[in-house]
Chain A
């Protein structure tokens, strides 16, 4: 008996890549099946020709041996078929990376080794809200993801909502997503980026429009728990967590690691890889290196059991 804690939503049946949940994943699914159908047809034609060449009558073999067949079957046919497929594919996918129109929602997702920095943009492209490893969107509306990288090449892939698009340092690549139904859609880094690349996941959470606005309102203000005193806050300060992490409403304003302002409300920890609760938070803080070897957060072998529980309880209360 073996089991894994799978990153949320990129495994299972039907394969998410063949189970589109929005209009920007649908065309890719159509294209994939079109290409599969086409290649199977071509393979069958080739196999029949091979069969005839090996076992056919003398007359058939003579027909297959002519120079004309090489020109037709070896050059004209592939050129026509592949060009048609290219035009068909470009037509199906050209709108998947369009620039945002005025009024369309924009989210900047920046790949970092090995997590995702998320910023919600206003109409002018200014960052108005910070988060990490989780993107919230309203259903039924296209959302434009503006993709960048802070270090090496990553690739964002949320198979049920869109195709893969590379995140290249210094470039702004675009990706449109839309979810037709509320839900949690798993994503994964799809370009090997070193070390714990396989443990670099994220989730996209699609809400009904009203719930989305409520989420955005909650997210825009500091978590309520930051205004009451909690034994975990001084532990967070003493351990130096604020050097890398921001908690809105406090003096902690580090930028190297994920924003923790509302970390208690996230679905996952460690970039899409662990469930989020008091226990996993304590385990992650205590020794994230045992869970995600090579990630840039050190283990904290300096905390007592009580301190570990306090600091993780405080973080879990940041909803």
Chain B
């Protein structure tokens, strides 16, 4: 029994660890993403760690979004889906209140990279 202990410990540690792979977006810069979010005012609807004001309530808080499995409770939280969602949410979910946002694909990837840093729950 005793000799299985290290294996058990390793397995349990794996369970406690985050089970999904890290969401890395090649070439995207979280700091630029935060600047984009400030410029277009995402915080008018969302509480966003790193932005003091405003902390809008129309949309969900984005605290912990980086480890959340879903986008808006409807879509898998994958980099490609998230990038598309940030640019044109209604094309993925016709009933959402989140309008299309005036950002480019590259900017959306930067914003997604920032959102994936929000895992400190």
A residues sitting closer than 8 Å to B (CB atoms) are 1-5, 274-275, 277-284, 286-287, 290-292, 303-306, 308-309, 312-313
Contact = CB atoms under 8 A, between A and B. Distances in A.
19 contacts: A1-B50, A2-B51, A2-B52, A3-B34, A3-B51, A4-B53, A5-B38, A5-B51, A278-B102, A279-B42, A279-B45, A282-B97, A282-B98, A283-B41, A283-B58, A286-B97, A291-B56, A303-B97, A308-B58
A291 B44 contact: yes
Q: Is the interface of A mostly helix, strand, loop or mixed?
A: helix
B100 interface: yes
B69 interface: no
Interface of B: 34, 38-45, 50-59, 90, 94-102
Contact of B44 (A284, A305, A306, A309): A284
Q: Is the interface of B mostly helix, strand, loop or mixed?
A: loop
A281 B44 CA distance: 9
A290 B54 CA distance: 8
B23 to A, nearest CB: 19
A279 B41 contact: yes
B41 A280 contact: yes
B99 A279 contact: yes
Given A1-B50, A277-B40, 8 more contacts: A1-B34, A278-B101, A282-B58, A283-B58, A287-B58, A305-B98, A306-B94, A309-B98
B41 A5 contact: yes
Nearest to B49: A1
